[in-house]
Structure 1
Amino acid sequence: MFSASLGRMDSTDDGGTTEGTHNTQSSTQTTKKRGATRMQKIIRQRNAFGKLQVELDGFEPVYGKAGNEFKSYVGLVARINTPITIKEWSDIPEDTKATIWKEILSTFDIPDTIDMKRHWLSYVGDRWKDFKTKLVNKYIYGQNPCQTYDFIEQETWNEFYQSHTGESYEATRKKYQDIQAKNIHPHLLARGGYKRLEKMMMDEKLKEQQALADADPSYTMSPPSPIRRVEKWKKARMDKSGNYRTDSTRVVAEKIDALELQISQGEFIEDGRKDSLTVALGTDEHCGRVRAMGRGHGIKSVFGHAKRRQKTPEDVQQLVDAAVGAAVGAAVAEALEKQKQENISEWEEFGQRITEQFEAKIASMMLQFSAMQTPLQPKQVTTVCVDAVPPPPSDKASSPDPFSNLPALGARCQLFLEDPIRRPVAYGTTYSGRQVHGVVLDVNNVKVSITDVGDPTAHVPFPTGEVKLVSDASQHFIVWPKKLVELCT
Structure 2
Amino acid sequence: MLSAVATKFRQHKSYLTREWVHGKHKGKSPCDEYNIDPEEWEKFKEIRNDPSWKLVRKKAQDIQKLNNAPHLLSRGGYELLVRNYMKRELKRLKEVAIQSGASEDVVIDPPPPPPRHRLWNMAHTKSSREMTSKSANQIAQKIEQESQGSFIPEGRQDILNTTLGRPEHPGRVRTAGVGVTIGDYFGRLSRGHPYLD
Q: What residue is the counterpart of 1:235 in the other structure?
A: 122
- Counterpart in the other structure of 2:11: 130
Q: Residues of 1 paired with 2:59 and 2:88: CA distance? A: 42
Deviation readout 1:10-47 (Å, 9 max, x if unpaired): xxxxxxxxxxxxxxxxxxxxxxxxxxxxxxxxxxxxxx
Q: Where does residue 34 of structure 2 map in the other structure?
A: 149
Identity %: 35
Q: Which structure would you say has the larger Rg?
A: 1
Higher strand residue share: 1
Change (3 A) 1:281 1:310: closer
- 1:279 is aligned, of 162, 187, 196, to 162
Once the two structures are superposed, residues 446-487 of structure 1 have per-residue CA deviations (whole angstroms, 9 ceiling, x without a partner) of xxxxxxxxxxxxxxxxxxxxxxxxxxxxxxxxxxxxxxxxxx
Partner Cα separation in structure 2 for residue 149 and residue 175 of structure 1: 28
Letter of the 1:138 partner, please give it: E
Instruction: Compute the TM-score of the two structures, normalised by the length of structure 2.
Output: 0.85
Report how far residue 208 of structure 1 moved: 2.8
Q: CA RMSD in A?
A: 2.2
- Figure out how many residues of one structure are paired with residues of the other and give that number: 187
TM-superposed CA distance for 1:310, in Å, is 6.7
Match of 1:196 in 2: 80
Could you say which residue in structure 2 is the equivalent of 1:139?
20
User: 2:68, 2:163 → 1: CA distance?
Assistant: 14
Find the counterpart in structure 2 of residue 322 from structure 1: none
Gaps of 5+ in 1: 1-119, 312-489
Q: Residues 230 and 277 of structure 1 are in contact (CA less than 8 Å); yes or no, is this contact kept in structure 2?
A: yes
> Shift of the alpha carbon at 1:257?
0.7
Unaligned stretches of 5+ residues in structure 2: none
Answer whether contact 2:70 2:133 (CA < 8 A) is retained: no
The 3 A distance-change label for structure 1 pair 170 and 220 is: closer
Distance 1:228 1:192 in 2: 18
> Within 2, Cα distance between the matches of 1:224 and 1:168?
51
Letter of the structure 2 residue corresponding to residue 148 of structure 1: E
| 2:142 paired with 1:255 | yes
Query: What is the alpha-carbon distance in structure 1 between the residues aligned to residue 49 and residue 123 of structure 2?
Result: 35
Counterpart contact for 1:232–1:292, Cα < 8 Å = yes
Higher RCO (C-alpha 8 Å, min separation 6): 2
Matched position secondary structure for 2:34: coil
* Structure with more helix by fraction: 2
1:306 and 2:193 are equivalent in the alignment: no
**Contact conserved, 2:71 with 2:124, CA < 8 A, in 1?**
yes
Alignment of 1:96-107 (within 5 A): none
CA distance in 1, matches of 2:28, 2:85: 41
Equivalent residues of 1:213, 1:220 under 8 A apart: no
Tell me if structure 1 keeps the 8 A contact 2:69–2:124. yes
The answer on whether the counterparts of 1:244 and 1:250 sit within 8 Å (CA) in structure 2 is: yes
Partner in structure 1 of residue 2 of structure 2? 121
Structure 2 CA distance, aligned partners of 1:284 and 1:185? 16
